[in-house]
């Protein structure tokens, strides 16, 4: 509800639900962070926002991994789901819910949806022979299997030939409707390059896909999962189970307004499921399609692909060590601005982290704030100076500059170009820098007759920094709240609207401005990368 008591437009953003066979790593954190920044922007814009993340627990590899650790699948799932939840909390993610697929609310919804599709014969019983990729829990087509010498295209593990009497989803029925939808909605699959890949693959033809697995009473792996409604000899394929999570979370009445989802943020590895299988399932269920499936690329590390076999995943203990030494906002900033939102992968290198933190944070927002706060301290006894209504000075029209940057940022937010949106805050800060450089308040301050000019320059600089900080807040909530505190502003995103806050002139003359310690200390490039402490590694 907004202040007038009317319902604001709902906004629903999701992340993949992550497998609980293992602990979280940078990849999972990144996708959820992207969704977090989108959700924070939207709440600040006044949208009625729902941000969902969670865990995918019915995979065979969860059972395998639990066995290897000598615990039951649900115990293993509990431990790892807790690790995901804790990791997201440490990164300050603002998810409104955390769904686990072993929860009753989800199981109930999956069975209801599958029953509905059986009733309409969108799900039917048939025979299937195919190449099963054990490591990925999916069948690969004959072409793909041949191309990869009958090994998993992802992990290289030997493919297994499997024949199954199975329930199938009538994917082929929806081919034309899906193509028409993708063509009519250019923003449905992002980024553009991914959209073209998907269209190309759909044009090769869509075949019906198996949606169940036969239960082998002697194999615990095959018993882990949700039973097919009306047939206790089959369980529902984990991917069908997982995709339905996006509906399970909003099943109760007061959340139904969130469908259709605005954006499903996913990695490129699972785009096919989200851009093809899922929309066709929704069509079969008579549901509206989501607004956008955003498939980002991958993080690699110091130039190398991250994988289990290489053992080089950037894991939580390492991420925690970065947060501890440099602040979680510095890490959030690096991930958000340097991450693989486009169609190419991004490298997490320590040298790059240092370079970006120093350029954008220490020398950027941190330096802008400390320069201005220092001068206010020195020339105005630490109180916000009074510009007596002046909002323009020597060619700088601040209301126009900040309004334009904010408007451009908002357009980019709507397009899910989050790094682009954040970059407009950087532009304001660079103008503040140039403004101080050309107007030289420190020189004018030597002449008592010019103190009014100094007041105008410093007020305008501080106010422009405040506006930039509003646009930076979704990425760096801790630090920007600290900055607001120092500028004497009491802003509560969610209660306040970004639109109101962006209006020029909110800083009140006379308010104490706190200098404080530097917001982002400069990092010595020669410093060794942080390593997890022993207790962090053990606890991860
Ligand atoms: O696929 N860089 O779960 P999952 C960036 N349970 N992101 C990465 C990444 C990397 N190197 N590695 C992983 C599943 N990710 C299913 C999803 S959804 C209904 C079911 C992120 O634990 C990225 O978002 O394997 C990717 O899509 C996801 O983790 C895969 O997580």
- pLDDT, one tens digit per residue, over 106-125 is 999 999 999 999 999 999 99
Tell whether the model's pLDDT for residue 436 goes beyond 60: yes
Query: Of 273, 296, 319, at which residue does a domain stop?
Result: 296
pLDDT of residue 6: 47
Residue 479, token pair as written in the block? 């630090």
Atom of ligand 1 nearest to the CA of 243: 19
Reference 94, options 163, 26, 33; nearest CA is: 33
* Domain boundary, last residue among 254, 272, 296: 296
- Same domain membership, residue 471 and residue 364: yes
Ligand 1 binding pocket, CB closer than 6 Å: 16-19, 27-28, 30-31, 56, 242-243, 245, 266-267, 269-270, 298-299, 306
Assigned domain for 539 exists: no
249 and 358 housed in the same domain: no
- The arithmetic mean of pLDDT across residues 231-256, rounded, is 97
Nearest ligand 1 atom, CA 270? 27
Q: Which atom of ligand 1 is nearest to the CA of 55?
A: 6
Same domain, 49 and 148: yes
Nearest-atom number in ligand 1 for the CA of 267 is: 27
3-state secondary structure of 526: coil
Average pLDDT of the chain? 94
Please, which residues bridge with residue 393 across strands?
Answer: 396
Contact by Cβ (8 Å): 314, 301: yes
> What are 58-78's pLDDT values in tens digits?
999 999 999 999 999 999 999
- Reduced to 3 states (helix: H, G, I; strand: E, B; else coil), residue 149 is coil
Same domain, 59 and 170: yes
Range of the domain at 406: 350-501
In terms of DSSP bridges, do strands 10-19 and 263-267 run parallel, antiparallel, or are they unpaired? parallel
Helix axes 26-44, 418-439, angle to 10 degrees: 70
Please identify, by atom number, the ligand 1 atom nearest to the C-alpha of residue 56: 6
49 and 152 share a domain? yes
Task: Over range 375-392, report the average pLDDT.
Answer: 97
- Asked whether residue 371 is domain-assigned, the answer is yes
Mark whether 70 and 170 lie in a shared domain. yes
Task: Take atom 3 of ligand 1 and give the residue whose Cα is closest.
Answer: 18
pLDDT digits (tens, 9 = 90+) for 301-342: 999 999 888 888 899 999 999 999 999 999 999 999 999 999
Quote the percentage of the chain above a pLDDT of 90: 87
Answer with the one of 275, 296, 317 that is the final residue of a domain.
296
Residue 539 has pLDDT above 50, yes or no: no
Whether residue 402 sits in one domain with residue 265:
no
pLDDT of residue 536: 56
Place of tokens 């009753």: 104
Structural domain includes residue 248: yes
Is residue 302 in some structural domain?
no
Does residue 520 fall inside a structural domain? Answer: no
Do residue 424 and residue 289 come from a single domain? no
**Tens of pLDDT along 391-418?**
999 999 999 999 999 999 999 999 999 9
From 235-244, 432-441, 481-490, 495-504, the region with the lowest mean pLDDT = 495-504
Is 521 domain-assigned? no
State pLDDT tens for residues 123-174.
Answer: 999 988 889 998 888 889 888 999 999 999 989 999 999 887 889 999 999 9
CA 299 / ligand 1 centre spacing (Å):
11
Q: How confident is the model at residue 535 (pLDDT cuts 50, 70, 90)?
A: low
Tell whether 110 and 194 lie within a shared domain: yes
Q: Do 206 and 275 belong together in one domain?
A: yes
Distance, CA of 332 to CA of 287 (rounded, Å): 35
- Give residues with Cβ within 8 angstroms of 345, minimum separation 6: 297, 298, 299, 300
Together in a domain, 135 and 24: yes
pLDDT value, residue 309: 83
pLDDT band at 233 (very low <50, low <70, confident <90, very high): very high
For residue 170, what are its two tokens? 């009538």
Q: Over the stretch 487-531, which tens digit does the pLDDT of each residue have? A: 999 888 877 788 889 999 999 999 999 999 999 999 999 999 999
Domain of residue 488, CATH code: 1.10.730.10
pLDDT at 534: 67
Could you tell me if 393 and 290 lie in one domain?
Answer: no
Q: Is pLDDT at 7 greater than 60 in this prediction?
A: no
What CATH number has the domain bearing residue 112?
A: 3.40.50.620
Q: What's the mean pLDDT in 20-39?
A: 97
CB 295 within 8 A of CB 267: yes
Q: Token digits for 412?
A: 């980019």
Question: For position 220, what pLDDT does the model report?
Answer: 82
Task: For a ligand 1 pocket test, name from 17, 20, 23, 30 the mutation site with the most ligand atoms within 8 angstroms of its C-beta.
Answer: 30
Residue 259 resides in a domain: yes
Total number of domains constituting the chain: 2
Q: Whose CA is nearest to atom 26 of ligand 1?
A: 267
Q: Is residue 267 part of a domain?
A: yes
Residues in the chain: 540
Distance (Å) from CA 27 to ligand 1 centroid: 7
């Amino acid at each position: 509800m907004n202040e007038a008591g009317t319902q604001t437009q709902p906004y629903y953003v999701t992340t993949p639900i992550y497998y609980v066979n293992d602990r979280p790593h940078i990849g999972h954190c990144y996708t959820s962070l992207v969704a977090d920044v989108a959700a924070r922007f939207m709440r600040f814009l006044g949208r009625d926002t729902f941000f969902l993340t969670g865990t995918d627990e019915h995979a065979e590899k969860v059972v395998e991994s639990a066995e290897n650790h000598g615990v039951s699948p649900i115990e293993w799932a509990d431990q790892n789901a807790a690790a995901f939840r804790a990791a997201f909390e440490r990164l300050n993610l603002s998810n409104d819910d955390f769904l686990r697929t072993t929860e009753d609310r989800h199981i109930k919804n999956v069975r209801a949806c599958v029953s509905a599709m059986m009733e309409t014969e969108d799900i039917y019983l048939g025979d299937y022979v195919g190449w099963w990729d054990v490591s990925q829990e999916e069948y690969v087509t004959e072409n793909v299997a041949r191309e990869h010498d009958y090994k998993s295209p992802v992990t290289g593990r030997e493919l297994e030939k499997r024949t199954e009497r199975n329930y199938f989803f009538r994917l082929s029925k929806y081919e034309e409707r899906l193509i028409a939808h993708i063509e009519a909605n250019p923003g449905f699959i992002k980024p553009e390059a991914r959209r073209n890949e998907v269209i190309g693959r759909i044009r090769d033809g869509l075949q019906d896909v198996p949606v169940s697995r036969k239960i082998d009473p002697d194999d615990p792996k095959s018993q882990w999962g949700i039973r097919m409604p009306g047939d206790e000899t089959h369980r529902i394929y984990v991917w069908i189970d997982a995709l339905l999570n996006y509906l399970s979370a909003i099943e109760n009445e007061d959340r139904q307004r969130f469908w259709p989802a605005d954006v499903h943020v996913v990695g490129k590895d699972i785009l096919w499921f989200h851009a093809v299988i899922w929309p066709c399932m929704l069509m079969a269920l008579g549901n509206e399609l989501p607004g956008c499936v955003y498939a980002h690329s991958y993080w690699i590390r110091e130039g190398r692909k991250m994988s289990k076999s290489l053992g080089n995943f950037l894991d939580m203990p390492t991420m925690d060590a970065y947060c501890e030494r440099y602040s979680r906002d510095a890490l959030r900033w690096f991930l958000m601005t340097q991450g693989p939102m486009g169609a190419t992968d991004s490298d997490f290198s320590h040298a790059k982290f240092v370079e970006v933190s120093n350029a954008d944070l220490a020398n950027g927002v941190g330096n802008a704030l400390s320069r201005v706060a220092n001068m206010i301290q020195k020339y105005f006894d630490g109180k916000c100076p009074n510009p007596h209504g002046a909002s323009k000075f020597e060619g700088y029209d601040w209301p126009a500059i900040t309004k334009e940057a904010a408007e451009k940022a908002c357009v980019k937010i709507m397009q899910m170009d989050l790094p682009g949106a954040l970059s407009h805050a950087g532009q304001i800060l660079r103008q503040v820098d140039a403004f101080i450089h050309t107007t030289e308040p420190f020189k004018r301050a030597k002449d008592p007759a010019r103190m009014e000019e100094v007041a105008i320059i410093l007020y305008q600089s501080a106010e422009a920094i405040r506006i930039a900080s509003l646009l930076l807040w979704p990425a760096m909530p801790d630090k920007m709240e600290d900055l607001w505190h120092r500028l004497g502003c009491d802003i509560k995103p969610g209660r306040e609207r970004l639109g109101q806050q962006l209006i020029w002139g909110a800083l009140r003359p006379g308010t104490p401005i706190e200098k404080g310690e530097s917001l982002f200390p400069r990092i010595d490039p020669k410093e060794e990368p942080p390593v997890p402490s022993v207790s962090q590694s053990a606890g991860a």
